[in-house]
A = this chain, B = another copy of it.
Amino acid sequence: MDALALLESMMLIRAFEEALMRRPDHGFQLLSSGEEAVAVGTCAALTSDDTLLSSGRSIGPALARGLEPGPVMAELLGRTAGPCRGRGGRGHLAQPSAGYFGAHAVVGGNLTIAAGVALAWQAEGRPGVVACIFGDGACGSGALHEAMNVAALWKLPLLLVCDNNGWSVSTPRAEALAPERLSDLAAPFRMPSATVDGMDVVAVRDAALALAAHVRSGAGPAFLECVSERFATHSTATRETRPQAEMAAILARCPIRRHAARLEAEGTLTEALRAGLERDVADTVADALRYAESAPFPDVADALRDVV
């Protein structure tokens, strides 16, 4: 994925979320704003052979993975035109046919599932990588340990990507996790790991490419920690606990502005180009909203469909 595409992908996520937030009918959402570079950089290292799993903070990962914004919007607004027919919602968004095995809203819950997907792929001799994005919070859970151990033992094609935004709801990472760097957790299992600046999409992509290459080679799992910032509250239904002054500094670290500035400095991005991207993204989001709005809510009888 080239540098402009990285920018556009991040811009799309931001614009999508902003549009979603303007609606009164989204229930509540866990936004990826601020963390776009983690999703986009990771997905830039994935091919159509690969699949992605994520936590319930799913908008960034889903869009970065290339899901159509319209169906994603429909899913988040509870419409049947969503890939899960509007029943998965933010926490359980999934479109395996598009390389997104899905979100799972149980913290840490997708880690052993992802290892299982990787096991199936290994058994079937498929070439792909199974990538799983999870938060720093999930690093406290035993599931990470169990998944890392078995993935390392069995050399599963699993790329673990920790989107360390420094918070689990109101709890700072330092008060929840003893390791100095979260990627240190991979060391006992003798898997390659890296900690990168999660606000720098190029750094994320390059590290993800390197680690994915290791995984792709059949040598087993790898662990990538991306240190990021959460721009919004934990969810749109939760209170902000960070002081305003701190928030200003956090928002100043915007991964989109940072990447755009780099491209401008390099001469890759012009004002016109940027305006064009902004228009494209806005159009895409507007289309997505129209697509979603035109779709119905599920029927009551749907409540008993696809149970077993």
Write the residues of chain A forming the contact surface with B, with a CB cutoff of 8 angstroms: 140-146, 148-149, 152-153, 175-180, 184-185, 187-190
Contact = CB atoms under 8 A, between A and B. Distances in A.
Contact of A184 (B141, B142, B188): B188
Contacts of A140: 146, 149
Lowest 8 CB-CB distances: which A-B pairs, in order? A142-B142, A145-B145, A152-B178, A184-B188, A179-B188, A178-B189, A142-B146, A153-B178
Chain copies in complex:
2
A278 B23 CA distance: 83
Chain B CB within 10 A, most for which of A143, A153, A175, A190? A153
A303 B270 CA distance: 81
Contact of A179 (B142, B146, B177, B190): B190
A187 B179 CA distance: 9
7 contacts: A144-B145, A145-B146, A148-B178, A153-B177, A178-B188, A178-B190, A184-B187
A224 to B, nearest CB: 16
A188 to B, nearest CB: 4
Nearest to A151: B178
A185 B146 CA distance: 12
A208 to B, nearest CB: 22
A141 B176 CA distance: 20
Chain B CB within 10 A, most for which of A144, A185, A188? A188
Contacts of A189: 178-179
Nearest to A179: B188
A185 B180 CA distance: 14
Contacts of A143: 142
Given A184-B188, A187-B188, A188-B188, A153 B141 contact: no
A140 B151 CA distance: 12
A179 B188 CA distance: 5
Contacts of A175: 153
Chain B CB within 10 A, most for which of A145, A153, A185? A145
Nearest to A189: B178
Contact of A149 (B153, B177, B190): B177
